[in-house]
Amino acid sequence: MYLEYLGLREKPFSITADPSFLYLSRKHREALSHMVYGIRERKGFVEITGEIGTGKTTLCKALLRQLDPSTRTALILQPQLSELQLLQSIVQDFGLNPMRGNNRLGLFTQLNQFLLEEAQLGRNIVLVIDEAQNLSLRLLEQIRMLSNLETDKQKLIQIILVGQPQLREKLALPALEQLRQRIGVRYHMMPLDIDEVRTYIQHRLRVAGSDGGLEWTPEGLDEVYHLSRGIPRLINLICDRSLLACYVFRVKRVDADIVRHSYQELSGQVLVS
């Protein structure tokens, strides 16, 4: 609705996890570096956590895009599955066809054969599981067993668990002691600071093709930081609604009043004119 009026090619603040809009703050760069290090050094398990909306899923997709061709990957976005379904999903995402009537043992055998063949070709295999805080203890134990697939010299599969802070709490349980001991790399993503929020907004406007006709005042940028607490998903919601408000009010200047008005609408607050 507001794209043509504000001189934009596409929506700059969509909440979908589009890697082309990824803004690598210091925290994102550090998280990405930890993931890449864990993969290249074949650490077995990597744990990445962060609050809701900090850009974890977008970061996962960006990681998969930058890995070299010798790395085969599988990405599980919704791990709320049964033990058999999770194994089937992993096998399928690696491009294999689960044999009809396969049980857990059969799928493990099929996956192990695949990993051995890929290792002989010099390839690294990576499994990324997003929203891993939703995995049951039984599923996490099953995933630990996947890490047992190894040769005398190296792990055959690198597993990255990505989730909310509850993942750390779950992995601290005594029942998961064996899994916790196998995590070689850990990183917790923090929200953006005020300078990063300013750069983040300008970055996404630039990627969306802004022609420079839209002005975002320093006070407006600071208000976005204050209201969003530096959480990228909240920043996107507030900024998208602010651009809509510009269109409605026929202005091309986002100030603190526009941002507050937009946030109040998002929060369902009654506005008194």
Domain ranges of the chain: 3-14+192-266, 26-189
pLDDT for 269 equals 62
Weakest mean pLDDT among 61-70, 147-156, 251-260: 147-156
Weakest mean pLDDT among 69-83, 91-105, 207-221, 236-250: 91-105
φ and ψ of 185, to 5 deg: -140, 135
Identify which of 126, 114, 117 has the alpha carbon closest to the alpha carbon of residue 42. Answer: 126
φ and ψ of 181, to 5 deg: -70, -20
Q: Which CATH class is domain 3-14+192-266?
A: mainly alpha
Tokens 């929060």 correspond to 267
CATH number for the segment(s) 26-189 = 3.40.50.300
Assess whether pLDDT exceeds 80 at residue 136.
Answer: yes
In whole angstroms, give the CA distance from residue 83 to residue 80. 9
Global confidence as pTM: 0.88
Widest CA span of the chain, in angstroms?
72
**Helix H or strand E segment including 70:** none
Q: Is the dihedral of CA 201, 202, 204, 205 positive or negative?
A: positive
- Average pLDDT value for residue range 173-201: 95
Identify which of 133, 105, 109, 122 has the alpha carbon closest to the alpha carbon of residue 48. Answer: 133
